[in-house]
Homo-oligomer: A and B are copies of this chain.
Amino acid sequence: MLPAAAGYDRAITVFSPDGRLYQVEYAIETVRRGTLAIGIKAKDGVVLAVEEKTRKLQINNVTQKIFQVDDHIGVAAAGYIPDARTQVDHARFFAQSNRLIYDEPVDVEGVAKNIADMAQQFTQYAGVRPFGVALLLAGVDKNGANLFLTDPSGTYIGYDAMAIGAGSDQVTDFLEKSYKQDISLAEAASLAVECIYLVSEDKSSTKHMKMAIIDTKTKAMRKVEDEELEKYAASAKEKAGRHPA
């Protein structure tokens, strides 16, 4: 938690004397309180994975934190999830409009910019609060596989691999050491599982994780089912055994 900055944290869209926008920083704090979300680019696609603890009677085959924007674009979120849903709905509309107008699938960066622009507006105008969520936007377009991060400030940046949410600093350090650009989708998926084991209490099952893959060949997002996820987990546990964190 950040130290309370008397007064500047209450009013929206106001600079503090040292040039900071506290409401935006607090919204980013909301992201840090969310559970982990990871995006990893492979040579043949992109992987999105989230840690998602479900209660016992919750319908488990539905994910709260991974969304599909278009056939070829998916999103993993960390932070205030209802805000993520709003941003994703906005992005879906943008993607569909693009198909209607240009008769081709939208670029992933176009969607990232569109989401970030909306987020920026919510930091400058009164009468609204910033979005309390960061998104990892993964997709395959004519430029190949893409991974973008958008955050409450309205920033968007491209990454090869990125983690957001609780424990993301530790995971990002790990990714910076372990990531290689020429890994396969299976290796990326396995690496994503390894990241979740790094910060989660449950270091063996796959019940607390969800995953989606966008393949450069199919150009389509698909949900990773439990059986396949188990294979990535097995491989992750094997690797983790070789290089203990």
Contact = CB atoms under 8 A, between A and B. Distances in A.
Interface stretch (A14-22, A188-196, A227-235): A14-22
A94 B161 CA distance: 36
A15 B23 contact: yes
Given A82-B154, A117-B89, A126-B127, A14 B12 contact: yes
Q: How many copies does the complex hold?
A: 7
A222 interface: no
A58 B157 contact: yes
Interface residues of A, number: 75
B5 A7 contact: no
A161 B14 contact: no
A76 to B, nearest CB: 16
A2 interface: yes
Contacts of A155: 64, 81-82
Contacts of A86: 117, 120-121, 124
Interface string A77-113: 0011111011001000000000000000000000001
Interface string A159-174: 1111000000000100
A56 B174 CA distance: 11
Given A15-B26, A125-B127, A21 B82 contact: no
A20 B80 CA distance: 9
Contact of A15 (B13, B15, B132, B161): B132
B19 A9 contact: no
Contacts of A213: none
Given A1-B17, A2-B17, A19-B31, A58 B128 contact: no
14 contacts: A1-B19, A10-B14, A12-B13, A14-B23, A15-B30, A15-B129, A19-B27, A56-B176, A57-B176, A62-B158, A82-B119, A85-B116, A86-B117, A86-B120
The 8 nearest A-B residue pairs measured at CB: A82-B154, A19-B29, A59-B158, A19-B30, A15-B26, A13-B129, A1-B18, A82-B120
Given A17-B26, A55-B176, 13 more contacts: A2-B17, A7-B9, A8-B10, A9-B14, A15-B129, A17-B29, A19-B28, A21-B30, A57-B176, A58-B158, A59-B159, A83-B124, A86-B120
